[in-house]
Amino acid sequence: MNEPAKAQMADVAHSREVAEAARESDWQGKGFLRDLFLGRFDFGLIHPYPLQELAAERPEFKRFEEEFERFLAEKVDSDAIDEHGDYPPGVVDELRRMGAFGMKIPREYGGLGFSQVEYARIMQLLGSRDGNLAALLSAHQSIGVPRPLELFGSEKLKRRYLPRCARGSISGFALTEVLAGSDPARLSTTAELSQDGTHYLLNGSKLWCTNGTLAELLVVMARDPKSGAISAFVVETDWPGVEVVHRSRFMGLRALASAALRFDHVEVPRENLIGEEGRGLKIALTTLNAGRLSIPAALVGTAKVALELDRKWASVRAQWGTEIGRHEAIAHKLADIASTTYAMESVSDLAQALADRKGYDIRLEAAAAKVWNAVQAWRICDETMQIRGGRGYETKSSLEARGEAGVGVERWLRDVRCNLIGEGSSEIMHLFMAREALHRHLQVAGVLFDPKAPMARKAGALPGIAWFYLSWILELWLRGLASPFRFRGLGRLGRHLRFVDGASRKLARQTFHGMVVHGRRLERKQAFLFRLIDVAIELLAISASVSRAATASRTGGRGAAHGTLLAERFAVASASRVKGLFRGLWHNADRADYELGRAVLAGQHAWLEKGAIGLGLSADDLAPRPPTAPAKGASERKATPAQVA
């Protein structure tokens, strides 16, 4: 093996070790999806559906929700925000006045003390109106300074910064770098403890820090230059050496205050360390677990307003002598959008409620809700544009200028696309879930796949491994015998749960089969792993939808009369996708696609690019580089919201 290949293998191994060290190795409670991957469909973990928890309305929250809804409807012009590409100072000031920057901050630190369920209801309202504002508030308190301080910060740090955050000192989360996104081993920003031990010296740069051009406070991840350990710090942006070098602009979410940051010998007081030294990535990942839940909640709001538009437009737009909603092609789309919106809300609301409960570890449910709702919201907005036709592609201002109702579907589509990338791309989320799905298997049999483990250790582990899998397979078989008799009390909804029950056992068997067939190569079989993850997510969506419909039918909750119909329609469509995913595990073109992709990468098909005006750039020209552009104007630098207009 040549030296470059050896170096690449060492780099891959180091990245894997860093990522493995950063994950939470112990489960902190019950996990529905965790058990599902082992073939244990424990419906009791999510049923009865938490309708009462979701419907409970504290008077102080209800007053805030009503005021916030009026504010969004009367004072927020989302298309103007999109057009101008900035947050109006008056809007940000009003958010401060209402206490919106402190929704999740405990009351003892000056916040409103909302539960995760209550916070998600506000995010849903935001998602139905303005993605830019949803990003502003979510980045501030779901992943910005408040959340990691609440979970890991010292009491001194909490007293110092949480009241500021609650009053509206905007915060951001600075992890991503030019060469270090989801690969923490490449993190290059350093924090070196001074000789007298009073402060850290922070040097480096960060990219795509949401709220970065507005933020007064940042959570910054940095590496010890000697040990390599990564720690988390609270950094104030008005300290000497903190600089916003560029404001990034995007296809959608055009007001997003996303910054490229540079730290040049920034002195960070030692007491601004969050938690312990070397636990920065664990803090980041734990923060993101629940922080991601704001995204599926907001996307439910987006799907709901899209459904409203589709229904109303399809009832008044006529083609060939009848409303387009009466044509089968459009009626099918409406059925799909309605049932998928029901499932999106079921998945999101369930995850929010579980996050509030004690004794649950929702890392997989949060990731699944984020991934699945992001995909479905994008698809729903795309279908909405298709139903709306040319008026969907036309901007709101253009529609209004020629006398029609202005509904900016094209903005919805641009804004919603970010959710497939931000806070962990869909691909990275699949890899994260795959690692967690294999957790128990690696606990039991991981030594067999460890190239560093001596043969004697592997041989010694075989009896224990054999006993575990024999017992496990027997358990799956016994569960299968009982499956036909389960869920009969749920009437016609029971058959969909029996499908989930059988599919969960098949998921477990196929996961084990994949480990046997692929061995150590399984981690590189991403298409195989992604199909397994997609199966589990679909089973979660079916289970949540059926639990919600069944509980509402029994208790008379909201949508009780029609929830069963929506849940059944969704379950049938989802089951069809699950069957296709299972078939694709072993009957696919994965190997051929991989080889073709490698050939394209090597330039063997560059001839196909001829006949077009090329980019005029080499691959080296496209390589990521640290930001060097100087800041331009007050709106491009760290600033107060009043300065950003």
Of the candidates 111, 88, 116, the one whose C-alpha atom is nearest the C-alpha of residue 99 is 111
Q: What is the DSSP letter of 112?
A: -
Of the candidates 276, 299, 327, the one whose C-alpha atom is nearest the C-alpha of residue 129 is 299
Report the alpha-carbon angle 155-216-115, nearest 5.
55
Alpha-carbon span 248 to 206, nearest angstrom = 12
Write out the two tokens for 408: 């900016």
Q: For strands 199-209 and 217-223, give the pairing.
A: unpaired
Of the candidates 633, 128, 74, 564, the one whose C-alpha atom is nearest the C-alpha of residue 346 is 564
Write out the two tokens for 124: 């849903």
Alpha helices for 587-616 (secondary structure H): 590-601
The amino acid sitting at 556 is G
Q: Which of 423, 436, 538, 568 is catalytic?
A: 423
Alpha-carbon span 223 to 268, nearest angstrom = 14
**Torsion sign (Cα): 91, 94, 99, 103:** negative
From the centroid of its chain, how far is CA 15?
Answer: 22
Report the alpha-carbon angle 581-476-577, nearest 5.
15
**What is the helix (H) or strand (E) element at residue 192, kind and residue range?**
strand 190-193
Contact 339, 544 (CB under 8 A): no
Alpha-carbon span 330 to 323, nearest angstrom = 10
Counting beta carbons within 10 angstroms of the beta carbon of residue 448, is it exposed (0 to 12), middle (13 to 18) or buried (19 or more)?
Answer: middle
**Peptide bond between residue 48 and the one before it cis (omega within 30 degrees of 0):** yes
Percent helix, strand and coil across the chain, each rounded to 5? 65, 10, 25
Report the phi/psi class of residue 627: left, alpha or beta, with left for phi > 0 and alpha for psi in -120 to 50: beta
Say whether 243 is catalytic.
no
Where are any strands of DSSP class E within 270-377?
Answer: 273-274, 318-319, 322-323
| Four-CA torsion 629, 633, 636, 638, nearest 10 degrees | 110
Residues forming the active site? 423
